[in-house]
Amino acid sequence: MAIQWFPGHMHLTKKAIQERIKDIDVVIELLDARLPGSSANPMLAELTSGKPGLKVLNKQDLADPARTALWLAHYNALPATRALALDASEATPARRLIQACHELAPGRAGMAKPMRVLICGIPNVGKSTLINTLTGKRAAKTGDEAGITKLEQRIALADDFYLYDTPGVLWPRIIVARSGYNLAASGAIGRNAFDEEEVALELLGYLTRHYPGAPAARYSVDVAGLTDEQLLQAIGRKRGAVQSGGRVNLQKAAEIVIYDLRAANLGRITLETPEEFAAWLAEGQKV
């Protein structure tokens, strides 16, 4: 069953972005480097069309470097778009985005025409971490909560460079089934919105096809010939997720697999390539 996720209406956020966008020179969209396609919100693309865009692939330290290179090339080939990959906690790479904004909007410089940049991203993508790194202090509130519209903040990164935090919460929008699984696996959607066992099975299926060495190395199981369910069973057994009567506790096993993905204990994994994501959209396996 596909994941259904209705976190709440976004019309306040939408209205606020519409209002703000008029004065914005560059839009930074923070994406999760492990799932760049799925962690984008399509509404943002509509609201900000015509504005130069900087795609920041955050959490690159957790993502597969070869696939990050594919995504960077994909975004850099789009008109009026640049892309960078970062670990939001590292200051030097983070400051590269200032230079990238100047390249995207070369007319903006100096006190008379300061650069005005809007920074957006779905919750948990690392926006607060990045803003904190850029400012060197805790300027942004960490953790977005359901239903709470954050007050808009204007942050001066230099005398002629202003960063505007997104007014409101930009929730992820699941437009194809695989995106739902990838968002759930990454931790971007609420725990109560999905079934861990289903997400872990989807994840193991993907890993078996694309990173077969990862579960084998982490859990010392031979993945060859196993169905996804048998693999989850084998992992549960190895990890002692066994209930009375010797049956594997699949819920526990699933939590272990999801935890290990998020902590990069399975290695640096990216859950989608630009080509795959385009194919999912084209197949129209809508939720």
Torsion 134-136-140-144 (CA) sign: positive
Ranked by CB distance to ligand G4P, the top (closest) residue is 126
Nearer to ligand G4P, 183 or 248 (CB): 183
Among residues 101, 124, 131, the alpha carbon closest in space to that of 114 is found at: 101
Q: Which is nearer to ligand G4P, 127 or 178 (CB)?
A: 127
Mask of contacts with ligand G4P, 67-96, x by CB under 6 A? --------------------xxx-------
Output the smallest distance, CB 58 to ligand G4P, in A.
Answer: 5
Q: Is 260 in the site for ligand G4P (CB under 6 A)?
A: no
Q: Which of residues 7-66 bind ligand G4P (CB under 6 A)?
A: 58-59, 61-62
Write out 232-257 in H/E/C secondary structure: HHHHHHHCCCECCCCCECHHHHHHHH
What's the rounded Cα separation, in Å, for the pair 4 and 173?
A: 10
- By CB under 6 A, how many residues form the interface with ligand G4P? 19
> What is the secondary structure of 166-177 as a DSSP string?
-SS-------BH
Q: What CA–CA distance (Å, rounded) separates 227 from 195?
A: 19
The CB-of-141 to ligand G4P minimum distance in angstroms stands at 8
Q: On the CB side of 279, how many CA atoms lie within 13 Å of its CA?
A: 5
What contacts 223, CB < 8 A, 6 or more positions away? 208, 212, 215, 216, 231
Q: How many residues does the chain have?
A: 287
Cβ closest to ligand G4P, residue 122 vs residue 231: 122
Choices 101-109, 122-130, 145-153, 164-172; region in contact with ligand G4P by CB under 6 A: 122-130
Site stretch for ligand G4P (CB under 6 A), options 15-23, 139-147, 197-205, 218-226: 139-147
Q: Taking CB under 6 A as the rule, does residue 105 contact ligand G4P? A: no
Nearer to ligand G4P, 107 or 143 (CB): 143
Q: Annotated binding site for GTP, which residues?
A: 58-61, 124-129, 168
Residues with Cβ within 8 Å of residue 107, at least 6 apart in sequence? 113
Residues that bind ligand G4P (CB under 6 A): 58-59, 61-62, 87-89, 121, 123-129, 142-144, 187
